Homo-oligomer: A and B are copies of this chain.
Amino acid sequence: MNRFQQRKKDVLAKQDKSSIGFWDKRISKLCEKINSFEEYYTTSSCSGRVVLMIDQEKKGPGLFEFVSHDVVGFEELWKEIKKLSLKDKVKFKQNQNRKFFICPNLSYKFKQEPPIIHVACKDLKNAEIILKIGRKAGWKKSGILSLGKNIIVELNCSWRLEFPLIKGGRLLGGGFVKEVVNKVNWNLRRGWRAISRLEEEIEKF
């Protein structure tokens, strides 16, 4: 067994360390397909997600407040936002038909991210091949992240939304959130279609 195959064996034997703590089913079939080729193995993946999180410069653990890998409803999201506000002992104040949450400490943002896969490749030629297949299947924001011992290709789609949600304690546009839910779910579904298309393109390979 060569070094690449040994690393592949080690990585695939590892337990899932993702923040959701279980396999992301919508992308696992695609990952299995990629892993069935001896030239590739996946190191991480996400089928797309909706996130409410603390908005700060520094990355770190404990920033995620809500994560959904499925389409969301406004009521569900709104409940999560209210939970968020209770958790931080936010005061609730009604003002001219607009609702403000008072929470001076934290800012939160909303993110909808497209599908993403990191693929370790045996050599550069294989990196180039999967990059091209990915682009063809609509994964337009793809690139090689690292060369050398570990050649990693990131396959990523482009359909994303991101905006601040709570700033200096004040909820920005609750009504706005209602309006963007459709777009969010549309983007998630586009991502799932891109996963299927990539499966098909890899099938042809």
Contact = CB atoms under 8 A, between A and B. Distances in A.
Given A143-B144, A148-B128, A179 B164 contact: yes
A124 interface: yes
Nearest to A132: B146
Given A128-B148, A172-B179, A160 B162 contact: yes
A148 B127 CA distance: 12
Interface residues of A, number: 30
Q: Count identical subunits in the complex.
A: 2
A163 interface: yes
B167 A179 contact: yes
A12 interface: no
SS class of chain A's interface: helix, strand, loop or mixed? mixed
A147 interface: yes
A205 interface: no
Interface in A142-169: 142-148, 154, 160-164, 167
A162 B183 CA distance: 11
A172 B175 CA distance: 8
Contact of A143 (B145, B160, B183): B145
A163 B144 contact: no
23 contacts: A96-B97, A98-B175, A124-B124, A127-B147, A128-B147, A128-B148, A143-B145, A144-B144, A144-B147, A160-B162, A161-B163, A161-B164, A163-B176, A163-B180, A163-B183, A164-B179, A164-B180, A170-B179, A172-B176, A172-B180, A173-B176, A173-B179, A176-B176
Interface of A: 96-98, 124, 127-128, 131, 142-148, 154, 160-164, 167, 170, 172-173, 175-176, 179-180, 182-183
